[in-house]
Structure 1
Amino acid sequence: MAEEKVEVFGYDQLNNFKIHKSKPTTKVNISSNLDWFDTKIEIDFDGQVANLAEIQKALAVKQNYVPLGNGTYGLLPEEWLSKFSLLFKMADSNGKSLRVSKYNFTVIDELHDMIDDEDIRKELVEKKEMLLNTNPEKYEKLPVPVELKAELRPYQESGFQWLVYLDSVKWGGLLADDMGLGKTIQTLTFLQYYKNTNGKMKALVICPTTLLFNWENEINKFTPELSYLIHHGPNRTTQSKELQNYNIIISTYGTLRSDVELFIKNNLDYVILDESQTIKNPTSKVSKAAQLLTCKNRIALSGTPMQNNTFDIFSQMNFLNPGMLGSKEFFKEQFAKPVDKFQDEETKQHLRKLIYPFLLRRTKEQVAKDLPEKTEITMFCEMGKEQRAIYESYRNQYRSKILGTIENQGIEKSQFAILQGLMKLRQICDSPAILNEEEKYANHSIKLDELVRELQENIGDHKVLIFSQFLGMLALIREKMIEHEIPYQYFDGSYTAIQREKAIQEFQNNEACSVFLISLKAGGMGLNLTAADYVYIVDPWWNPAVEQQAIDRTHRIGQTKNIFAYRYICKDTVEEKIMLLKDKKNLLVKDIIADDSNMIKQLTKDDVAYLFS
């Protein structure tokens, strides 16, 4: 008021709530220790020094005034609050100084204009350059391991270098690239580098069951010099010494819950959580088990680290860098509640500053120039025991029947029996519930479980096409869409032209509609669905031309996005054998095989025995 020359009456009579007239002057002295910054800070209101604990208490309840020794209250101006409030929120106080974890170096960086110590300035600049990727030229000094059997895209190389820098300062990081951008290959490149640098490397990878074999395939394909063991299933070892002979142990979240004591006995260099949002609930058994793991450092991988609310990020960050966001209760009160309940923009920015250095995210749109127009990925799934038992029963039944028919009538006259047997096994790979048999089976489907998980956890704002050859499988997927309240459109060969066009327009133009379910044969021709950029083929088949037609529904003139196409294959089934046989017989040549009957003519008796083995 005095600055604006406004005369104030009655100020002297405010005995119970008297505001000090002076603005605060703030002196800061920062020293750097091994794991923290010590910040000596003095807030002076014209001779009245504010108590640090009182300031912390006031800021915790969002008060902008603090009691002073003479009975008055010092007013904390807006510009002071914007500069210092995060420091007081994240620091531990002993009454004289504030101690800030080096995890929270961005808090200290806010005070850079008040820092006199040149070494501290250099330390902060280095961390910013390497963690916030503001100086990517520095990354070029570190070559990619020669053992890597792939050429990394530029953004993947930056991701690898980011992981290397985090390792050098022994901080954990969350690689949060969009689905399909290669989080696994970036991690494997780093693990190969770590082994080369240190002469040895022991890592534990925890992932959803459906990703076990994708890790196996990626290791074999890109870093074959790294030895690995899949630790999963009823026959897994109970002896920790048997895990010592491998560079990478691949296991699941379910196994982690039961075998955490076994894993703790191993001297691990790294623990990697794939789809780390699985531990978002800090009170869950799997989250508690993950926190118990002992290792030199940690990495988390997730395309969607925050799915429903701000609190999702706490457990993942606490796994990576224990204590960096305070206690669970502190985080809930100081960050989650203000952001989720009150949409507090300042708190949102404070949280972003704290986690941003430890989270690297690139979207498809950001790295589009580095991507091919179309990326095709095979996802391997492992059946549960109920689905496997039904599969094995039918396989044994048809193997005996078909080999006997071939023996008696020759392969040409056995085509119908072969096709029938293959179709039954493929249907079971989707779900035994879609078999058209007198005996009805329950819906045991690893593909359905995985598909729903992908849609709920990884898709985000993207649009998706889901193709299946079997109407029964599409019906099961529809049920799941309704159950999980996922907006979708649908069409198969029974739809009229008007119904089809209505479904297409709804999918293309309604942002809320994220999924389109389509019969593979009905959807292979004449559709233009450029709103989608992810394609899932639930049941791949011999003829790649049919699948390519489906994928090309999105990959057409007018498409400005990069397309990712996923094929689901059940491990150790006819689906995997067909894929291997296609490669062996070079059946991928376009248009060689126009239909199923031509496909059968390409097979020998040994091929048929292999498919039903």
Structure 2
Amino acid sequence: MVEERDPVDVFMSLDRWPLSPLEDEEETDTVAAREMYMVGFVIVNVVGLQYYTGSISGREIVGLQREPLNQYDSNAIKVLNTRSVQVGHIERSAAMVLAPLLDANVITIDGIVPKVARQGNRYKLPCQVHIFARFEAFEIVKSAITNGGLYLIGENNPSFTLSEAQVVKEKRSTLEGRDVDEIFKLLDDKVSKKEELKPLEPPKNIIKSKLLLHQNEALWWLVQREISEELPPFWEEKEGNYVNVLTNYSTDKKPEPIRGGIFADDMGLGKTLTLLSLIALDKCGDVISSIKSGHLSSQRDDGLDEEEDTWAASFSKRNRRGTDSRNTDISRKKQKTEQIHTLHVKGKTVFSPDRRSANSNSGPTLVVCPPAVFSTWTSQIEEHTKPGSLKSYIYYGERTGDASELENYDIVLTTYSILASEDTWIDSPIKKIEWWRVILDEAHVIKNANAQQSRAVNNLKANRRWAVTGTPIQNNSFDLYSLMAFLRFEPLSIKSYWNSLIQRPLAQGDEKGVSRLQVLMSTMSLRRTKEKALTGLPSKSIETFVVELSGDEREIYDQMESEAKKIVNQYISSDSSMKNYWTVLSVIVRLRQICVDSALCPADLRSLLPSNKIGDVQSNPQLLEKMLSALQDDEGIDCPICIFPPTNGVITCCGHIFCKSCILKTIKRAKACCPLCRHPLTESDLFICPPEASNAANSGSSSTASSKVIALLKLLVASRDESPGRKSIVFSQFRKLLLLLEEPLKAAGFKILRLDGSMNAKKRCQVIKEFEIPAPEGPTILLASLKASGAGINLTAASRVYLMEPWWNPAVEEQAMDRVHRIGQKEDVKIVRMIARSTIEERILELQEKKKLLARKAFMKKSSQDQREISVNDLRTLMHL
């Protein structure tokens, strides 16, 4: 049995503390999302080459990565080659100047080692470090670099033309003189010439359900990716060596193929069943061998059940290079029926075969997912596979510490938080195993590359890697960088390459950025929408129902928005919007709550806003308590140390929320500062969460129903009159609203259920099963938290969805909608979005459209439309500044 490690120990031992806990939840104003332009470049040395195995083959782009916990130099910047292998460090004198600017998110840097003959000291190499910043920060950056003793070569310097940067040279020379976009064009041409998707049936002795055509084709694509022997994208063989044409890195060792990719089919298309079919094929090694060789028998042995063998024949014989391949019959002996027995594992009962197939040369598959998705995987295994054919284990809660035990299973299910908590464990069984396959379900969870759970999944050892999500882009294109890092897609798995080739062109509105992104997606992902893949699926319509605020509501809203604009504008103008992000968030949350129901807000709304200047936040305990109370109304906030909802929550003077025990242990260590912003902290800087006013706030009583609640009741009654048995789901981000709705809905004669983040996985499953009971015996209304119900569950019993407020990340809304509109839905689905007129809600819709446009373009063929990445202007848009 593994021993639970103190989460503070885990957090304090991280290579790099996360920038903000909100980066896992929402888009933040990170450097990568801003418009960065080249200030100039400096020429420095890469030193310490003798201590590292990485090599530079001349005129090569290199990755530059901060290493703040380096025991010899806290300003260290390490240098990586294309293969993510360390070459050395930027010399100490230069790192001392650049590191503070990097840590403050003022600059980003790229590195290029020019093609020069190695002379003099063989333990160092010259390197051009190109420096990028926002225009308004140019003078600060120039001054810091010059005062630090570095010679900055700017645009007005005659030596500027010597820069190897893409932004200076319209064409970056490669070994054959091709520019970057020509390289991407060649990759796009190669992808477009690949054969079309073909249907492949799963083994019927394991998968008992019939797959739909799009699932059969997805299975074929998954198998082809896993058995590929092709060179990875951007690699070419030249005279016995292998060269990455993007970076000019050369090696005599053949790079491993990328066996995996992004499975990005629309939500509700049955990706889990397709993945189970892929895992089932692991137990049929002879078939995989046949697929690899390009031959698969269409005949069967007389002793084999025809139904169990037709799946093999569905994979047609392929011709290679225009020549006919021989029709080689591969005889297959019918596998003996495996003895099934019940196995009790750590309090969990699973059905398992007595042993693995003798033909299987694979190992276990690790599935990483949010806890709410456990029920989906277990129910799908039960529903679609023959009993005992796949052996599964849930690595969660009380769990084994024996790696050899886990290797006996076909599927091991765990969560992102478990991986994060065990990332620093030397004896973690998860880390000891070289997994045959790792599947990240709901892979958008790792969109923040700085988060501990993202680093944890990247550290897993695996032969095959899959990122599975219907929403790979939730906020901006930088969401994809974390997936590229997980998939080991060199060189774009290194952040500096991603910034240079993809992120920066997008941020500057350069159409080349969108074009390159589209090529990457067509290379690495499979994406089909429900409209194209499921012609028989009932329709889905989305309508916006505009609600007029009452006179009292409008007066309160306008007054609050006027004051909010002042404080948000002050934060933006002082470039401190991230430092005081919690205060800004609380202001925006309150505006959104007024749009829904002012009963969600405290009576003294004005006390939420600092009266004069930002410093008031740090000196007013009562204000801090109010801020914490505001944030608690917003679901999804976790303690950044233990990655769970805060227990005995406290808020720091700098506005960050932690468990009381976690932050107390942290500040007693060597670093007595906030783990998120590094503000100095003592125990007197912590403020306890005020007791929940459950009797008043959560009683469900209100003197007057809000305009939105009244409108919702009218819509629900009209729907019931039209079809008495119709089921509806009311989604809201605010748990308190769900509680407020219970009384008026019951008074109107509705049978209701509630599903929110306060419930454990078992309780949620119980609610979902009860909701499936047909009316009139069963309930007709489900009050559901937007996030608690947004992933991995099936709510097809309903055909009407009401969104009480918009969420600025459209992918969260889409996930909630697609719990209803998915395989298994028999009725036409209608989505109603409740929007308060002339409020922040309308401006949130504007932001949603920007994000949807980028997500759509990523999967389109190349276009010449201009696309500007979302930036700090989002706050100005929200506040109508």
TM-score relative to the length of structure 1: 0.47
> Greater Rg, structure 1 or structure 2?
1
Larger RCO, structure (CA 8 Å, separation 6 or more): 2
TM-score when normalising by structure 2: 0.34
More helix by share: 1
